[in-house]
Amino acid sequence: MLCNFSGPVLIRVLPPLLVTEFFLGLAGNGLALFIFCFHLRPWKSSTVLLFNLAVTDFMLIMALPLRASYYLSGISWMFGEMICKVCLFMLAMNRSGSTFFLMAIAVDRYMRVVHPHHPINSLSVGKAMLGALALWLVPIAMTAHVFSLQHVNTTYCESFMVDTTSRGNLSWHKFTFLVSFYMPLLVILYCTFHIISHLRRRQLTNQTKFKKALYFIVVVAVLFIVCFLPSNITLLTMWIKMVPGFVCDDMEQLTIVFYITVSLTYLNSTLDPVVYYFSSPAFKKICRRTLRISIPTLLTQWHKSADSLPNSQVSQIAENL
């Protein structure tokens, strides 16, 4: 039997959280994609990984308004079963894709610092794109089962459902959720510790170039753990408590915590632009230049529009600021 929870806490907490993540992610990843597509030249193999991470984050962000609407409507889905499955697939696939591309970025930085003369470091952009395409196939294959999920209640749109009887597709969904965190986590931690030990052993931690590489890999590890660890610990706890004979009431509080922590995983997509910012001096320089141009331009336009208003209207606007 599937457990349905009304979740008044979710209705209050998740809509503002999801809307905030949407606007921050849209601004950050939109700016990142703009820089990657129109300003950052030439591309390197590492740029290909960062670009694909921005794409998967942007695609995930696009599904958040539908989820916010779902909770604003009192956990009631209004867009039909097919759009529900597409939305759940977009969230699951891009969440997994984000973790795998973060893992690939950590491995790329590890190879460049610890094994600088390895042939993989001179990989062409074309081959890097083929590798990124292959990496895309992993989360797609892992999450395609979302389309087979059945919702008895047509207004209920969830991929993580508590069932008192075992169901294969639900168990697989939870399994892939855990694997797409713990496998990249182990790889990222391995790369981080080996980069740190390599730099310390060679006494390179104070050199600017290697210090930036150290900051970069630490930022990747911290963002990954902060955003994904809470939901995975909660899911493991739920799985352990799902002993034969449990009842739905036993899982309600844990399920609410889990849905909140899953929504926090989307925060990773809003914070990944920090990874791009630390990825290279060129990206940082273009980002600063773009923001310096856009902000003064907006202020100039505001002043021009204010000058054309009567003084009484200008005073009223100033009072409202």
Global pTM?
Answer: 0.83
How far is the CA of 98 from the CAs of 42, 92, 266, 284, in angstroms? Answer: 24, 10, 10, 21
Task: Give residue-wise pLDDT tens across range 196-238.
Answer: 888 888 766 566 666 777 788 888 898 899 999 999 999 888 8
Q: Give the pLDDT confidence score for residue 174 in this predicted structure.
A: 78
How far apart CA 282 and CA 186 sit, in angstroms, is 30
Domain boundaries, given as residue ranges, for the chain: 2-288
DSSP state of 2: E
How far apart CA 143 and CA 172 sit, in angstroms, is 9
Task: Give residue-wise pLDDT tens across range 285-321.
Answer: 888 887 775 544 544 554 454 455 455 443 443 343 3
| Rounded mean pLDDT, 44-48 | 91
How far apart CA 51 and CA 37 sit, in angstroms, is 9
Q: Which helix (H) or strand (E) holds 271?
A: helix 267-279
Burial class, 288, CB count within 10 angstroms (exposed 0-12 / middle 13-18 / buried 19+)? exposed
DSSP codes, 125-182: HHHHHHHHHHHHHHHHHHHGGGGG---SSTT---SS-EESS--HHHHHHHHHHHHHHH
| Rounded mean pLDDT, 23-45 | 90
- Residue 149 — pLDDT band, cuts 50, 70, 90? confident
Interaxial angle between packed helices 168-201 and 81-114, expressed in degrees from 0 to 180 and rounded to the nearest 10: 20
At 72, the amino acid letter reads L
The listed CATH number (1.20.1070.10, 3.50.50.60, 1.10.20.10, 1.10.150.530) that belongs to domain 2-288:
1.20.1070.10
Does residue 149 contact residue 172 with C-beta atoms inside 8 Å? Answer: no
